[in-house]
């Protein structure tokens, strides 16, 4: 089962649309990038995070699939681009765990191995 907010988040992530993706989060939320140890709780900081991510060399998100079961949700995605130092192609599979309310994401934790991005 898919919720409307997850459909909007899938579309925004695939389109690299930081404004629409940030709008999918509740006013009071937690976004946690577990791989980098970042915890974000303000929309301004979240938009900045996505803007940085979406302007990395050759960045692309594909195979984005989010699913919900009530207030809990999960998803997988593939992040690809060119590594920062060597310019090598990379492709990383990641996962997200969500807590939702009726129309928004109130918590997301993402999991991935970032090493190939910084090679």
The pLDDT mean for the chain works out to 94
pTM of the model: 0.92
Sequential DSSP letters for the chain: ---HHHHHHHHHHHHT-HHHHHHTEEEEEEEEETTTTEEE-SHHHHHHHHHHHHTSTT-EEEEEEEEEETTEEEEEEEEEEE-TTT--EEEEEEEEEEEE-SSSEEEEEEE---GGGG-
User: Using one digit for the tens of pLDDT, what is the confidence trace for 15-56?
Assistant: 999 999 999 999 999 999 999 999 999 999 999 999 999 999
What domains can you pick out in the chain, each with its CATH number? 4-113 (3.10.450.50)
User: Using one digit for the tens of pLDDT, what is the confidence trace for 73-89?
Assistant: 999 999 999 988 888 99
The whole-number pLDDT of residue 1 equals 47
């Amino acid at each position: 089962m898919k919720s409307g907010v997850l459909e909007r988040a899938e579309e925004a992530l695939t389109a690299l649309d930081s404004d629409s993706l940030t709008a999918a989060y509740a006013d009071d939320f937690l976004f946690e990038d577990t791989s980098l140890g970042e915890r974000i709780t303000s929309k301004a900081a979240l938009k900045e995070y996505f803007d940085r991510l979406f302007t990395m060399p050759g960045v692309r998100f594909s195979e984005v699939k989010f699913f919900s079961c009530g207030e809990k949700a999960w998803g997988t995605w593939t992040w690809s681009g060119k590594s920062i130092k060597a310019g090598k192609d990379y492709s990383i599979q990641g996962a997200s765990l969500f807590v939702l309310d009726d129309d928004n994401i109130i918590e997301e934790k993402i999991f991935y191995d970032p090493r190939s991005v910084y090679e």
